[in-house]
Structure 1
Amino acid sequence: MDELNPSPPVSEDPEHWYCTNMVGVPVGLIGSTAFNRCLRRITIHGTRETHPGLFRLLAACEYPATASEVFEHYMELEFGLAPGAHEPTQARYPTSYLDLLRGWGVESDCPKAAVLKGWVESRFGLVPTFHKQRLGLFPSSAWATYLQEKTDVRFHNNCIFQQFDLLYEYCQWSIRRFKTPGPRFVRLWRGTNDVEQQLVEGDARQRLCTVRLNNLVSFSDSKERAEEFGDWVLETEVPTVKLLFFPGLLQRQVLGYEGEFLVIGGNYKVRAYHGWF
């Protein structure tokens, strides 16, 4: 260790918090650019085994729209999400994956979005790098805010992580069954204003570089649309195993605009574009 620039204790560096996860791939690998090219399929342990009936029903679906109806109906029954399913005397409505997705669509730094980032952290072992502000080393006021919001009891009253486990597994099933938007990679774009803070390797002004993205991020399937969200636009090929949501996966409108993908983050090799070159 360099005596002039000592490395922080492991407990202070969130990137070293996890060595295991629920997908059976080392955390360091799943967050790497090497994983993005290895074409390895992953699954959240125990999810399909716990819900075999859902995947038997899906196996009989010939079209994406039919599969979406089956999945959404199953979620309503399994988690009591159907309109009128709750008791009038309940103080709180059951938390729904749809509500949290809509919350993300409005603001990716809101408490509902923190729960989603917490789900990625729990299942994939990837800690967030940003929530309202850069998180950096632990402890800090930024980390305190994130930890408080990701555990907000308002959103943990209905097995919310298990709901997103099923959404992820359904997403991956749909990609393999219908070959959309994949089957292996999808080219996407992301607008940003702080590319310099995300750099891991290279120079954005030289086009090709490696960036560290938040553990859950939004991408667009349109470069022009991505330009609306930042001075820089990052173009990359996202492996479909890192998709949690893509347009058309569900019949209901849940995100803020058409063409939005929810992507598991980590390091990505990107081609960077700036408005003035």
Structure 2
Amino acid sequence: MLVENSLGEQRPARSPAANPGSNLTGIPSGLLISAEFHAFPMPLHIAGVRDGHPALFQKLSLVREQCEAGQVFQAYMEEIFAGGHDRTKGRRFRASYLRLLKGWGYDSNSPEGAVMKGWVESRFGIAPNFHRQVIGRVGDAAWIQYMTDKMSGRFDNNAIWLQLDLLFEFAQWSARRFLAAGQRHLRLFRGTNDFAEHPILWKAGARQGVIRLNNLVSFSSDRDVASAFGDCILEVEVPLVKLLFFKGLLPCRALQAESEYLVIGGEYTAHMYYY
């Protein structure tokens, strides 16, 4: 139910999105999901990842462009995790971050998508609010489906969350070094036809408000591309510290065609433009 305050802002009751028992960043999950954090972001790192892989970041410190950095990262991941396919007949399938990205590109509500949403919940303490359908509470049918997909043995192996940890740290390093040096935010766009997946928490007028994004969500840097996905365009200033993936990060085809960015969610101020 919407409640109107003295400023004419409509605010519904907020559903819990933070998981206080799971966070490896050192910043409280309740703060991480807030619009205030997104307006004034602080650096985000997953505990122990950089310290545990000094060779990777030493190699990265010597590169001069993003393409070369992506090649260094992929070679390191191949060496550590032996890729994402079977090299010996009868060997168990090995999950990989590249296969997760590819699966997300086809369908963010796939088992690959659930594994990635589970990683966000584990590392940042931000629970998903949508997977195939709205997740209303722990134990409902949507939550059970999410948990079933998340624990898919085909994709949840080969230290897959550690692979995503490294991808996040690499994305953070690259964003500050090459993507937007000296900046704190990027203006990104998302098209939608309804707000079931990302409910409006409150509105200030017809075109601006705060929305609750799913714990991992796709944006585009191209407004025209975003318009192909819905009649309402969400324009959001996304802090660099919430980027898991962006176009050009890796020398691969995954998520490149639509100038796609993967953003860790929460409550974001959004401008809404309707066609």
RMSD: 1.8
Q: TM-score, normalised by structure 1?
A: 0.89
Q: Which amino acid aligns with 1:187?
A: R
Q: Confirm whether residue 270 of structure 1 aligns to residue 270 of structure 2.
A: yes
Whether the 8 Å contact between 1:175 and 1:182 is mirrored in structure 2 is no
SS in structure 1 opposite 2:17? helix
State the Cα deviation string for residues 95-135 of structure 1 (Å, max 9, x = none).
11000100000011111100000000000000001000000
Q: Which runs of 5+ in 2 are unaligned?
A: 1-14
Whether the 8 Å contact between 2:19 and 2:29 is mirrored in structure 1 is no
Q: Confirm whether residue 32 of structure 1 aligns to residue 41 of structure 2.
A: no
- Give the Cα separation in 2 of the matches to 1:190 and 1:15: 21
Q: Which amino acid aligns with 2:194?
A: D
Aligned to 1:217: 217
- Give the Cα separation in 2 of the matches to 1:182 and 1:128: 31
Alignment of 1:40-51 (within 5 A): 40-51=42-53
Aligned to 1:97: 97
Aligned to 1:236: 236
Alignment of 1:183-198 (within 5 A): 183-195=183-195, 198=199
Alignment of 1:154-169 (within 5 A): 154-169=154-169
Q: TM-score, normalised by structure 2?
A: 0.90
Q: Which amino acid aligns with 2:150?
A: K
Aligned to 2:208: 208
Poorly superposed stretches of 4+, deviation over 4 Å: none
Q: 1:110 to 1:179 in 2, by over 3 A?
A: closer
Query: How much identity, in percent, do the aligned residues show?
Result: 45
Q: Confirm whether residue 170 of structure 1 aligns to residue 170 of structure 2.
A: yes
Q: CA deviation at 1:231?
A: 2.1
Q: Which amino acid aligns with 1:201?
A: W
Q: 1:28 to 1:181 in 2, by over 3 A?
A: same
Q: 1:16 to 1:116 in 2, by over 3 A?
A: closer
Q: Which runs of 5+ in 1 are unaligned?
A: 1-12
- Give the Cα separation in 1 of the matches to 2:241 and 2:38: 9
State the Cα deviation string for residues 7-48 of structure 1 (Å, max 9, x = none).
xxxxxx753542551011110100001111223111000100
